Amino acid sequence: MKVYLLFHHAVSRRLPVRGPRKSAFEVGMLRRLESTVSGLSMTRKCLIMFNWLTPLTSILAEHHASPVFKAGSAKAAPSSRKPLLHTFLHAPPPVLLELVQAVADDVSTCSRLGLLGRRTGDRAGRFADWCWFASTLVDLVENSVELGVINNSLRAVESRLYAESMSGATAKSTPRNTKIDDRELKLLQKQAYWLQVQRTKLVMDLIFVSYDVFRWQRGREAIKALTGLASALLSSSKLYDRHRNSLIKARVLNF
C-alpha cells in the first residue's frame, strides 16, 4: 500500500491539470488507504509485543542450567548459584541486544496506545532503532562469516569433482563418492543461495533503519517504502521455503 501510494502521488503530480485535480472517489480512496496503512502498522506493533519473553526465557534457562560448585567440592551447590544479574551480564551480546530492543519497542508501542507519555515513547523508539541498527550490523558480520565458510566448502567439493573427472573417474567407477559429492554440492549451493538472500534482506533493513537512526530526509518515504517491501518479500520467500521443506519431509516420513 505504501508503494502504491508513493507511485500514485508521483504520477498524479506529473499529470496535466484539467478541471478538478482529483475526484471525490479518488480522494476518499487515498484517505482510506493511508488510514489502513497507519492501522496495519499499529496492529503489527501490537502483535510483536512481549517479544522480549523469548530472549528472557533463554537467559533464565541458562541461569538455571549452570549451578555453581563449591571450592574443594565435587558436588554442585544449587543454593550458592551465581546471581541472576551475573547471568544477564554474561549472556551472549545478540541475545541481550534482542531483549533490550524488544523492551524498548514495547515502551514505544505503549506510548502510541496512550499508556505512556509521548516523550518517553519517542526516546524508547529511537533507542530501539539504534538497537535494530546494531543487531543488523552484527547479523551482517555473522552472515559474511558463514558465507565465507560455505564458499570454501563449495570450492573444496568442486575441486574434488574436477580432480575425479580429470583422472577418468566416472559415476560407474566411483558411484559412491560421486553421488556423495554431488549431493553435498547441491546442499552447499542451496545454503549459499539462502545466505545471499538473507544478506540482501539485512542490507535492506540496514538502509531502512538508517533513515530513522540518522534522520535522513532526502528520498525518505520512497526509499523506506521500497526497501521495506523488498525486505518483506525476501523474508516471505525464505519462510515459504522453510515451511515447504518441512511439509515435504513430514509427507515423506508419513509414507
Dist. CA 44–CA 249, nearest whole Å: 31
The three-state secondary structure class of 110 is: helix
Assess whether pLDDT exceeds 90 at residue 134: yes
Among 85-99, 124-138, 173-187, the range with the most confident prediction by mean pLDDT is: 124-138
The DSSP secondary-structure symbol of 116 reads S
Reported pTM: 0.82
How would residue 185 be classed by pLDDT, with cut points 50, 70 and 90? confident
Assess whether pLDDT exceeds 90 at residue 29: no
What's the average model confidence in pLDDT over 129-139? Answer: 95
Mean per-residue pLDDT over the chain, rounded: 85
Which phi and psi (to 5°) does residue 101 adopt?
-65, -40
Whether 111 and 121 have beta carbons less than 8 Å apart is answered as yes
pLDDT higher for 2 or 16?
2
Grid cell 545466505 is found at 195
Which pLDDT score is estimated for 171? 47
Which pLDDT score is estimated for 254? 75
Dist. CA 210–CA 199, nearest whole Å: 16
